[in-house]
Structure 1
Amino acid sequence: MSIARSFPLLPLVLLLLTLGCASESAEKGEGKAPVSGVITDFVEEKGQLLIDNEEDNGNTSGPILISLHKNAELIINGETVTVPLDGTLVGRRAEVWTGPSIAKSSPPQTTALKMVIH
């Protein structure tokens, strides 16, 4: 195949590389957390935290249920811990880097790859 014929594929290759780098960044928990706000409840049966998600302008965009991925990084007060989520975290602020999907339930649900609780 000549070089001239492979140029139409170049934008596709660049797009795939960009998407691959973006998902890698999300997995590492780099950049701004997509979910941040105050933890308002703990659902003991499912081990999930309910967070009032805040937008950049300070307005809330609604609650979201967060569970920890089995390989998630959980940081509480600056220390990485391996404890399960519990009700003692209610009222604290959290920043959460999530997986690629959010269930369209009420409230929405997703899985945390990294969670920092202050």
Structure 2
Amino acid sequence: MSIVRRLSLLPVILLLLTLGCGEQSEEEGKEKPHVRGMITDFEEKRGQVLIENKEDGGVESGPIWISLNTDAELIIEGEIVNVSLDETLVGRRAEVWIGRFIKQSYPPQTKAVKMVIH
């Protein structure tokens, strides 16, 4: 294959890569929650809720302490709210999208970038 022919394929390859990345971004917005389960406790001092994490199919993967990231989105019953976590959330179901880090403690602890309370 000549060098001119190879170079003519370069824009096509770059276009395909760009389109593939665009589709991935849309899928990330529809990503499943990382944590899903019932809120069983509230720690006022740290502003954390304890969630009994259940994976798809109802398999328990253990409790996890969740606090809100400074720019986290909190949605309660379909409405975006600007309140902190409190004891009134105990007993409610939650879906949580987390950041990058989980502290290796027991139970583990992490910060939510988005939390939906039902």
TM-score under structure 1 length normalisation: 0.77
- Residues 58-83 of structure 1 deviation map (CA, whole Å, 9 limit, x = unaligned): 02110000000000000000000000
Match of 1:40 in 2: 40
Structure 2 Cα separation of the partners of residues 55 and 82 of structure 1: 28
SS at match of 1:100: strand
Runs of 4+ in 1 over 4 A off after TM superposition: none
CA distance in 2, matches of 1:93, 1:110: 18
Percent identical pairs in the alignment equals 59
Aligned residue identity for 2:53: N
Amino acid at match of 1:84: S
- 1:117 alignment counterpart: 117
Tell me how far apart the structure 2 counterparts of residues 66 and 105 of structure 1 sit (CA, whole Å): 13
Counterpart in the other structure of 1:96 = 96
Superposition RMSD in Å: 2.2
Secondary structure at 1:99 match in 2: strand
What is the TM-score when the length of structure 2 is the normalising length? Answer: 0.77
The code of the aligned residue for 1:40 comes to: T
Q: Deviations over 1:23-81 (max 9, x none)?
A: xx3xx5x3110100000000000000000000112021100000000000000000000
Per-residue displacement from partner, 1:4-27 (whole Å, max 9, x unpaired)? xxxxxxxxxx8xx97xx67xx3xx
Report matched runs for 1:42-61 at 5 Å: 42-61=42-61
Residues 1-118 of structure 1 mapped to structure 2, 5 A cutoff: 25=28, 30-118=30-118
